[in-house]
Amino acid sequence: MTHPTKSGKPNDHAALAEYLDGLRQDHNESFRKASLRSGLDHGALLRYIKKRQRPTRESCIAMADHFGVNPNEILTRAGYDPLHFFDRSLVDPQALAPEVEEIATYLNRLSPLARRREVCQAVRALVDAAARTAGEP
């Protein structure tokens, strides 16, 4: 069920809970371990996942740091505006070749997170092999 936040942004508790629980399971961690490793109190993730409480902005960033995801992934699911600091689209467009940016966009669409990581590891292996074949370091 979607509930508006004070800012009027929708907060879909079920979607947030499912996403956080998927991250927790991908890391093979208990609620307590994931909470503590995120720098939160021992019951934080249990409240966010099972009791559908909305995490603070700071808690979203802390969980993202622990799970290795872009904080905006959790912030927006919790009903917060994304932070421009974490917005990759603001990176200098000259920094990435268009074909690299296109692949990054496709990879970012993959879910669950564990599957995305597997595919990224496979891509890295292919790039490493191609570099070795070409005689690059």
Residue 122 and residue 80 share a domain: no
Number of separate domains in the chain: 2
Residue 63 and residue 13 share a domain: yes
Domain coverage including residue 118 = 91-133
**DSSP per-residue string spanning the chain:** -EEE-TTS-EEEHHHHHHHHHHHHHHTT--HHHHHHHTTS-TTHHHHHHTS-PPPPHHHHHHHHHHHTS-HHHHHHHTTPPPPGGG-GGGS-TTSS-HHHHHHHHHHHH--SHHHHHHHHHHHHHHHHHHHHHTT--
Residue 32 and residue 6 share a domain: yes
Residue 96 and residue 80 share a domain: no
Q: What is the mean pLDDT of each run of 10 residues along the chain (137 residues)?
A: 47 88 95 96 96 95 93 93 74 69 78 78 87 78
pLDDT at 106: 77
Residue 58 and residue 75 share a domain: yes
CATH assignment at residue 18: 1.10.260.40
Residue 53 and residue 9 share a domain: yes
